[in-house]
Amino acid sequence: MSQDRPFTAKSFYDFVREKVLMGCICQDCKTIMVPPRMSCIECGGERLRWSELSGKGSLETFTIVHVAPAFLKDKAPYAVGIVRLEEGPMITARLVGLDVLKPETFKIGMPMVVGYADEGGRPLLVFRPA
Ligand SMILES: [Zn+2]
């Protein structure tokens, strides 16, 4: 099925469009990479495999964006955060379901879960409070 897709950003976002969060795992040292790489960032190995991730994690840090790129202009202000997945890797993505006018309600370490958005035809990951 999915194992024959190349380890590229395009493949990663094809999965996102299908609402699946995939990383690639090094079969030698078990490092998980999101987004995927052509070779392992730890050991340089090339025996990689797609691995579906839970989409669950916790908030590491965040910021509020007031000056947005054109395709997100109508979303500003919005929050962007780094979420550490329970499998280990960290992902930077827009945060939804929180009140950006009350950043004190954002808690470092709060449980987050992945969601999927489409902005002008481009698939995007988002995270919301679990
Ligand atoms: Zn490795």
pLDDT, greater one: 4 or 55:
55
42 and 83 inside one domain:
no
48 and 64 inside one domain:
no
| Prediction pTM value | 0.90
Ligand 1 geometric centre to CA of 122 (Å): 31
83 and 32 inside one domain:
no
Q: Is the pLDDT reported for residue 128 higher than 70?
A: yes
Ligand 1 geometric centre to CA of 42 (Å): 5
Count how many domains the chain has: 2
68 and 117 inside one domain:
yes
Ligand 1 geometric centre to CA of 44 (Å): 6
64 and 108 inside one domain:
yes
120 and 86 inside one domain:
yes
Ligand 1 geometric centre to CA of 40 (Å): 5
Ligand 1 geometric centre to CA of 36 (Å): 12
Q: What is the 3-state secondary structure (H, E, C) of the chain?
A: CHHHCCCCHHHHHHHHHCCCCEEEEECCCCCEECCCCCCCCCCCCCCEEEEECCCEEEEEEEEEECCCCHHHHHHCCEEEEEEEECCCCEEEEEECCCCCCCHHHCCCCCEEEEEEEEECCEEEEEEEEC
46 and 65 inside one domain:
no
45 and 89 inside one domain:
no
Ligand 1 geometric centre to CA of 9 (Å): 19
8 and 33 inside one domain:
yes
- pLDDT single digits (tens) 17-71: 999 999 999 999 999 999 899 999 999 999 999 999 999 999 999 999 999 988 8
Ligand 1 geometric centre to CA of 82 (Å): 23
Ligand 1 geometric centre to CA of 71 (Å): 36
Average pLDDT over residues 1-21: 90
91 and 34 inside one domain:
no
Ligand 1 geometric centre to CA of 127 (Å): 27
85 and 103 inside one domain:
yes
Provide the pLDDT confidence category of residue 1 given band limits of 50, 70 and 90: low
CATH of the domain at 120: 2.40.50.840
34 and 69 inside one domain:
no
Give the pLDDT confidence score for residue 47 in this predicted structure.
96
Give the residue numbers spanning the domain of 17. 2-52
